[in-house]
Structure 1
Amino acid sequence: MIKMKKKETDSLTLTSPSHRIIAAMFDLAIIILFSLVFLIPSIAVYVNALLEPNAWTLTATYIVAVLSGGVIALLILLYEVVLPLYWKGQTLGMRFFKMKYVREEGGELSIAPLLISSVTALSLALLTFGLYFLVELFAIAGSDHHRSFADTVSRVYVVDTLD
């Protein structure tokens, strides 16, 4: 049980690491499915560059790869920021497994902590070529508060919900 700083009477139950990890995997599967839609043109351009190698197809491959990567990064940010804003701190995985983000100070969740958390996680994942997620897995499972680095930086907790 954690106690919020401003509302000492409200006590919330932290989500178990296993539920949190499963919900994150559920969210990752959804993001991958949506990302495939944007990767299909990239794959087609890449295959064309392999079949007809020249300067134009090589340039097109780089341009489409950068654009696809940018669109997918934007999709991830929208999924992890906008969706929880409208669903009271929940992504699809969190809603399915009955958990949500709450602010450390209590009160309504705003865009700032969600954006900080998402940008932190995405940046560290890109810089470490995905190893960040493995480290976070151990951080969530091993820490007393079951928080990731991004949660700590953005000052949020993931707690169980009844609805």
Structure 2
Amino acid sequence: MLNNPAGFWVRFGASIVDGVFLLFVLGFVSLMVYKQFIVEGFSLISILEALYYLLLPVFWHGYTVGKRMIGIRIARTDGEKVGLGTMLLRNLVASLVYVITFGIGIIVSAFMVGIREDKRSIHDFIAGTYVTHDKPDRGI
């Protein structure tokens, strides 16, 4: 069921778009709340960023703003809709794996996306997901 997987560079591009989008949106929220554009350490901004990556794909058929602009989305390998549990596994559990491996897991994941035919990374295997160019079954 892994149709039309997205490779490393397109996923990287979507991450850059997400980063720029969040920089400006959360920067302005930070200006309103904290009176400074960038806040260091744990804050409301950190929570909003985590919620963006956790909830937006659940409610928007696997898309984030960056993925939507680039034309890719997160999908489950079994064809079901991406849910909150899936995104918790993909983001939180995978982040723990990357921290435990002192970042080596991130490098391995990048190579996996670049080399593997199915373009799946460690966090994709943990959550049972992949990133695809295909649109969701239900048109949006």
TM class by shorter chain equals 0.7 to 0.9
- Gap regions ≥5 residues in structure 2: none
- Alignment partner of 1:94 out of 43, 67, 73: 67
1:96-121 CA distances to partner (integer Å, 9 max, x unpaired)?
01111111111222111111111134
Percent of pairs with identical residues: 23
The answer to whether residue 6 in structure 2 is matched with residue 33 in structure 1 is no
- 2:74/2:130 contact within 8 Å kept: yes
Measured after TM superposition, the shift of residue 28 of structure 1 is 2.1
Q: CA RMSD in A?
A: 3.1
- Which one has a bigger Cα radius of gyration? 1
1-structure distance, mates of 2:98, 2:22: 15
Number of residue-to-residue matches in the alignment? 133
Q: 5 Å matches for 1:126-137?
A: 132-137=105-110
> What secondary structure, in the 3-state scheme, does the structure 1 residue paired with 2:79 have?
coil
Measured after TM superposition, the shift of residue 41 of structure 1 is 4.1
- 1:42/1:65 contact within 8 Å kept: no
Measured after TM superposition, the shift of residue 128 of structure 1 is 6.2
> What secondary structure, in the 3-state scheme, does the structure 2 residue paired with 1:101 have?
strand
For the structure 1 residues 131 and 71, does the alpha-carbon distance in structure 2 shift closer, same or farther, using more than 3 Å as the test? farther
The answer to whether residue 130 in structure 2 is matched with residue 157 in structure 1 is yes
- Gap regions ≥5 residues in structure 1: 5-11, 45-63
Measured after TM superposition, the shift of residue 80 of structure 1 is 0.9
Measured after TM superposition, the shift of residue 70 of structure 1 is 4.2
Q: 5 Å matches for 1:8-157?
A: 12-37=3-28, 38=30, 41=34, 66=41, 69-124=42-97, 132-157=105-130
For the structure 1 residues 120 and 28, does the alpha-carbon distance in structure 2 shift closer, same or farther, using more than 3 Å as the test? farther
- 1:102/1:158 contact within 8 Å kept: yes
1-structure distance, mates of 2:114, 2:74: 17
> What secondary structure, in the 3-state scheme, does the structure 2 residue paired with 1:118 have?
helix
> What secondary structure, in the 3-state scheme, does the structure 1 residue paired with 2:6 have?
coil
1-structure distance, mates of 2:95, 2:5: 24
Letter in structure 2 aligned against 1:21: F
Measured after TM superposition, the shift of residue 130 of structure 1 is 5.8
TM-score, normalised to structure 1, is: 0.65
